[in-house]
Amino acid sequence: MTDTRPLVPSLWSGFVGIVRRDILLAWKRPGDVLNPLFFFAMVSALFPLALGPSSEQLGSIGPGVIWVAALLAALLSLNSLFVSDFEDGSLDQLLLSPQPLTVLALGKAIGHWMVSGLPLVVISPLVAISFHMPDQSIKVMAVTLFFGTLSLSLLGSIGAALTVGLHRGTALLSLLILPLAMPVLIFGARTVSLSTSDDAVSAGVYFLAAYCMLALTLAPFATAAALRISNE
């Protein structure tokens, strides 16, 4: 019977399978996607309301505000990344599947990014315009947010995997992830604000891209290890 060992589907089909499933789930429950987006838009709107409509001031705080709002929105949606899988037993099935867990963890993070980070990148120009940011900065903002939200999804998936089943909510996850996410915030926000004064931005963009690559290669391993530990 050893020679009739079942064939395992390819890694790619496992990866695509989980990304497709999570996007389909988001499609069936649009609230999960829309709530962080609204949160992002509202937090960004709070600052002009609190600080007054002076357009110079808005232009100078805009990059920082948008980046902090994006960071918080990502954290908000990350909290539930593995919770429903944990509660309905899907996580056991993932851990017991013959697919390497690292690939599935990568799939979860990418799926999360496609339904939370990518829409945020798409609507960020609207928010940037409302902050009177110059045109070149809006482009830079979208590019930095592209790499930044992807890094946050990957980093955050580690935290979500560590806290799954702990019922301590978003506070613990934020405590774990925010210090780790600092480089992304620093480079993202500073690069955008440099671009408002026509300074060179390539260094920051390269850094974010490099950080994103590092996260793509290392984070899934940490997430997989954390999932096995949390689900014991």
Partner 1 sequence: MNFLLSGHDLCLFRGDKCLFNSLEFALNPGQLLIVEGSNGSGKTSLLRGIAGLLEFEQGEIHWEGNLLHGHYQAFRADLAWFAHKVGFKDDLNLLENLRFEQSLHSFDEGSVMAVLARLGLDLLTELPLRSLSAGQQRRVALARMLLSKGWVWMMDEPFTNLDGAGRSLVDAVLSEHLANGGSAIVATHQPLEIVGDVKRVSLS
Partner 2 sequence: MWKFFHKLASPPHFYQFAGKIVPWFAVIAIACIGYGGYAGLFVAPVDYQQGDAFRIIYVHVPASYLSMMAYSIMAISAGIGLIWRIKLSHAVAAAAAPLGAWFTFLALATGSIWGKPMWGTWWEWGDPRLTSELLLLFLYIGYMALRASIDDIAKADKASAVLALVGVVNVPIIHFSVEWWSSLHQGPTLVREGGPAMAPDMLYPLLAMILGFTFLFGALLLGRVRTEVLYREYRARWVRELLLGDGGTT
Residues that bind partner 1 (CB under 8 A): 1-2, 4-9, 13-14, 16-18, 20-21, 24-25, 28-29, 84, 87-90, 92-100, 104, 228, 231-232
**Which residue do the tokens 């671009």 mark?**
195
216 interface partner picked from partner 1, partner 2, none, CB below 5 to 8 A per type: none
144 interface partner picked from partner 2, partner 1, none, CB below 5 to 8 A per type: none
Taking the complex as a whole, how short is the minimal distance between the CB of residue 3 and partner 1, in angstroms? Answer: 12
* Cα distances (angstroms) measured from residue 42 to each of 39, 66, 88: 5, 11, 32
Say whether residue 200 binds partner 2 (CB under 8 A): no
State which residue, 88 or 199, has the beta carbon closest to partner 1: 88
7 interface partner picked from partner 1, partner 2, none, CB below 5 to 8 A per type: partner 1
State which residue, 2 or 202, has the beta carbon closest to partner 1: 2
> Are 104 and 75 spatial neighbours (Cβ–Cβ below 8 Å)?
no
Residue 98, class by beta-carbon neighbours within 10 Å (0-12 exposed, 13-18 middle, 19+ buried)?
Answer: exposed
State which residue, 34 or 203, has the beta carbon closest to partner 2: 203
The angle formed by the CA atoms of residues 94, 95 and 100, to the nearest 5 degrees, is 85
| Maximum CA extent, the chain | 76
In the DSSP assignment, the letter for residue 98 is: S
Distance, CA of 157 to CA of 48 (rounded, Å): 32
Per-state percent for the chain, helix, strand, coil, to nearest 5:
85, 0, 15
Taking the complex as a whole, how short is the minimal distance between the CB of residue 2 and partner 2, in angstroms? Answer: 30
Selected from 72, 95, 172, 216, the binder of partner 2 by CB under 8 A is: 172
Return the amino acid letter for 175.
L
Binding site for partner 2 (CB under 8 A): 158, 162-163, 166, 168, 172, 175-180, 182-183, 186-187, 190, 194, 203, 207, 211, 214, 218, 222, 225-226, 229-230, 232
